[in-house]
Amino acid sequence: MLVVDDGSTDRSVAEAFAGGADHVVRHRINRGLARAYMTGLAVAMNLGADVIVNTDADNQYKATGIPALVQPILDGKADMVVGARPIEDIEHFSPLKKRLQRFGSRMVRLLSHTEVTDATSGFRAISRETALRLNTLSEYTYTLETLIQAGRSGLRVAWSISTPTRRRGSRP
């Protein structure tokens, strides 16, 4: 397991190792979600990863969903798999946020020519070859940009239902 610590000032590094991380890469200052993602991809590829699973650190996604993300890639059926949350069932999303999520994901589906129902999900798996083909230009987010690039470049993008935890760990 590889953890990217994006400038935390708490015990995140120690907790990552205590939780079983094999590798921890630390940004001394917060560089943003997209930079942390790019760092993780680069280090994972340098370590020889064939399939890379990314999850946000907010405890929103269950690790038990990893096999469903990875299997379509291992079976040669997908290049990227996104763990799609059932937006309507997420209790901590307001009605407005749910509507915006549905609308935004619909727009990304149109732009990317994919069927992914949760475009902003940070729980996803990609093959090594896909990681080499995608370029993240934004410093702040990668989720929409990589989906649109993948779909428009003919990569096979799939999704899998990802049951979220009841409450995000980073929120009160």
For residue range 22-47, what is the model confidence (pLDDT) as tens digits?
999 999 999 999 999 999 999 999 99
Position 88 scores a pLDDT of: 83
CATH topology of domain 50-161: Spore Coat Polysaccharide Biosynthesis Protein SpsA; Chain A (3.90.550)
Q: What is the mean pLDDT of residues 77-100?
A: 91
Predicted pLDDT of residue 172: 43
Percent of the chain clearing pLDDT 90 (strictly above)? 78
* Domain map (residue ranges) of the chain: 50-161
Q: How many CB atoms lie within 10 A of CB 168?
A: 15
- C-alpha distances out from residue 64 to 38, 55, 101, 150, Å: 24, 12, 24, 25
Q: Confidence band (pLDDT; 50, 70, 90) for 90? A: confident
Which of 69-78, 106-115, 126-135, 138-147 is least confident?
138-147
pLDDT tens-digit readout, 124-166: 999 999 999 999 988 788 999 999 999 999 999 999 988 777 6
Task: Name the token pair of 18.
Answer: 């205590």
Tokens representing residue 100 in the block: 């915006």
- The span from the CA of 40 to the CA of 52, in Å, is 9
Q: Is the pTM of this model over 0.75?
A: yes
> 131 forms bridges with which residues in the sheet?
none
What gap in Å lies between CA 40 and CA 30, rounded to an integer? 14
